[in-house]
Structures are given as structure tokens and as C-alpha cells.
Amino acid sequence: GKLGIALVGLGGYSTHQLAPALEETEHCYLAGIVTGTPEKERIWASRYNIPAENIYNYQNFDTIAENPSIDVVYVVLPNSMHADFSIRAAKAGKHVICEKPMAISVEECDAIIKACKDAGVKLGMGYRLHSEPYTKEVKKYAKEKTFGHIRYIAADAGYHSGSYPNQWRLNKALSGGGALMNMGVYAIQSIIYGTGENPISVAAQEYSTRPTYFKQTDETITAQFEFESGTVGNIMTSHNIRANRLFASCENGWFELDPASTYIPLAGRTSRGTLNFPQESQQKLQMDDFAKHVLFDAPNIAPGEMGRRDMVIVEAIYESIALGGQKIPLKFPNGYGL
Ligand code: NAD
């Protein structure tokens, strides 16, 4: 049968992407909800046919342990709440999908990984792009060196935030950081799956043009990376600049995705021509991939270690900025998080 998924946090992403995708998934379905907003209980129950016994709030959430119709808990809350709810889900014996960024510190990522290991449950990241065909093609170029050695890899991921000063993403206690914690994670992901390598150093810079709006969180960050094979990397992430691109210059050509991390449709070109893949809900593909991991022991294509690896890099970028742009060495065990 299909795995029952409970969504925790019924904000924009759950409402507009995950819940609709769970109507198309083949190996899992929307079985339950966890919400702090009582009005949403009735609306979601009737929209998605959710029985009363599968509806929880943040206080009674832990009793989900006694509910056999929930197999997977998917944490879709503000970043600072990911660790708490992922750990509570693991302790309740449920498999966990955690949204990006995994948490707001490496220490929290370690605690999530340990809780899942101790409970014997599976842990996956909400990194939908690993299930998406354009991204899979780029991962193949990296692995097979289709265009020869990748000499330069660049990724930009940003949007222009208008004027919503009260959103949690601008509140450091809830977000853990600004553009880097939000869109920056996509840029970091891009340069790693675009090369198939973890970086060995990073140096970073921060820019501020709207300090009265971005009071607590970073507005724009650039960072440069070195890789063992000699590849040079560069990222830009912003809450003030629109950009969404992955570009690689290689020994025998180039490849590019633009946009590289929006929902649908992605688009891409290489020095050999235009890419053209069928467009499907990325969230549908992602949740089915995780369900196949749980049900049939298929590979976990976005494991907790990958989310933790990205948080190590986020922390190194903030450290470099605090040290005036100093180069910070990065050390990952062979293949870690890839
Ligand atoms: P959102 O603001 O639309 O929703 C957040 C939800 O959390 C709301 O339902 C809100 O009621 C609830 N919440 C509980 N406690 C809260 C508090 N103290 N302050 C504010 N809200 C609180 O956010 P979203 O866009 O749905 O993002 C949720 C998570 O999903 C984030 O971690 C984000 O990074 C991630 N996300 C991932 C993707 C992706 O493509 N993988 C896309 C969007 C969001």
C-alpha cells in the first residue's frame, strides 16, 4: 500500500505545492496534518478527506506515535522549528522528511541525524531537484564528465523581496539567517551536484543596500569555492536580486540551467544543444522517491547527511564574512553527502 504522510505546518509550500502533489503520488498520500491554526483543521479535513483522528496540533503532536496510519512526518515549518519537530517525529517512530535548510546550525543537524538513527527511522531532505529530470541530467554530466573536466561552476539563486517586513524569513530567530539560509542553499546544492564534488574551501562577502528592511538577516552574499580537482566555483544569493541559474564551463564545452531551481518549468542548454525534458510536479517525484526508499529500499537520494553538509558550508560562509572574507578550509569524509 501507499505510505501515509502527515504535513507539519500548513503554510504556502504545503498548501500550494506539497498537498496538491500528494494527490498525484503513487507510493504515498496525504494521511494527516499538524497545524497550530484551528481554522485550517476544518478546511484541510474537507478539502483532502482527512479523518479527525489524523489531525494534530503542535501540543498533542507526540501522540502521533500511537497512530499507525501515519508513516512519514514531513516538516514544513520555519527553519528554527525543523530540528524540534524532526526529532519529535523520529521519537514517535515516524520516518522524517525535513524541509531545507535542514536546521539553523550544524549542531541541530547532528541532533536530527542521531534521533533518526536511534529510532531506526529514515531521514530525507526536501531537496526536490534531485528527483527532477534537468537536474538529473546535470548530475550525469558531472559524473560521466560528458564535457570533460569542469573548470568553472557558477550558481545564482535570489529573488527581490518587496515589502513584507513582518515575515519570518526576515526574523533571525525563526529563519537562522537571510538569503543564504533560503535561496543560498540552492546555489550551494547546484555547484556540488553540478561538479559531483564537495568543495575544499570557501571565501565569502556580504552586501547590504537596504539595511532598514533587512535589519537582522543577510541581503546578498557572494562566495568562491575551490575543489580538489581544480574546479573554481562561485555563487551569488540574494533577497534583493532576481537570479536563478547554474552554469558550467568545461574542457570540451559548457552546460547551463536557467532557471535552475524554480518549481516548473526548468530550462537548459549545453554547447551541444537545447535540453527538453517532460515537466512533472517535482514534489510528486521527490515524495515518491522517498517513499520508494522506505518501501523498497531504493537509494535515499537526498539524505540527512546532504542537508548537514550544506549547513557546514553555510556556517563556513558566515564565518568567512565575519573574518573579513578569509578563506575557510572545508573537510568532508570521502563522498560525504554526495
Ligand atoms: P510559510 O510562511 O508560508 O508557512 C510557514 C508555516 O509555519 C505557516 O503555516 C505558519 O502558520 C507556521 N508557523 C508555525 N509557527 C510559526 C511561527 N512561530 N512563525 C511563523 N510561522 C509559523 O513558509 P513556507 O514557504 O511554507 O516555508 C516553510 C518551510 O519550507 C521553510 O523551511 C522553507 O525554507 C521551506 N520551503 C521549501 C521549498 C522548496 O522548494 N523545497 C519551498 C518553499 C518553502
Reported as a single tens digit per residue, the pLDDT across 275-293 is: 999 989 999 999 999 999 9
Is the Cβ–Cβ distance between 260 and 183 less than 8 Å? no
User: Rounded to the nearest whole angstrom, what is the distance from the C-alpha of residue 99 to the centroid of ligand 1?
Assistant: 9
Q: Identify which of 97, 168, 170 to mutate to test ligand 1's pocket (most ligand atoms within 8 A of the CB).
A: 168
pLDDT at 265: 87
Amino acid at 334: N
Is the Cβ–Cβ distance between 311 and 103 less than 8 Å? yes
Pairing relationship of beta strands 123-125 and 199-207 according to DSSP bridges:
unpaired
pLDDT at 102: 98
Q: Which sequence spans correspond to the domains of the chain?
A: 3-126, 130-278+300-329
Average pLDDT of the chain is 98
3-126 and 130-278+300-329 agree in CATH topology: no
C-alpha–C-alpha distance, residues 132 and 126, integer Å:
12
C-alpha–C-alpha distance, residues 96 and 72, integer Å:
6
Q: Tell me the CA distances in angstroms from 161 to 104, 173, 183, one per residue in order.
A: 21, 19, 12
Amino acid at 320: S
Q: Identify which of 37, 56, 99 to mutate to test ligand 1's pocket (most ligand atoms within 8 A of the CB).
A: 99
Is the Cβ–Cβ distance between 216 and 176 less than 8 Å? no
pLDDT at 32: 98
One CATH from 1.20.1250.20, 1.10.110.30, 1.10.730.10, 3.40.50.720 for 3-126: 3.40.50.720
pLDDT tens per residue across span 234-271: 999 999 999 999 999 999 999 999 999 999 889 999 99
User: Rounded to the nearest whole angstrom, what is the distance from the C-alpha of residue 106 to the centroid of ligand 1?
Assistant: 20
User: Rounded to the nearest whole angstrom, what is the distance from the C-alpha of residue 167 to the centroid of ligand 1?
Assistant: 10
- Give the binding-site residues of ligand 1, using a 6 Å CB cut-off: 9-14, 36-37, 76-79, 99-100, 126, 128, 168, 174, 182
Query: Which atom number of ligand 1 is nearest to the Cα of residue 181?
Result: 34
pLDDT at residue 305 above 90? Answer: yes
C-alpha–C-alpha distance, residues 88 and 119, integer Å:
10
Which residues are part of the catalytic machinery?
Answer: 100, 186
- Which residue carries 551541444 as its cell? 272
Return the exposure string of 191-204: e unless at least 16 CB atoms fall within 10 Å of the residue's CB, then b: bbbbbbbbbebbbb
Domain 130-278+300-329, CATH class in plain words = alpha beta
- Looking at the predicted complex, does its ipTM rise above 0.90? yes
- Which residue carries 474537507 as its cell? 46
pTM as predicted: 0.98
Is the Cβ–Cβ distance between 252 and 148 less than 8 Å? yes
pLDDT at residue 46 above 90? Answer: yes
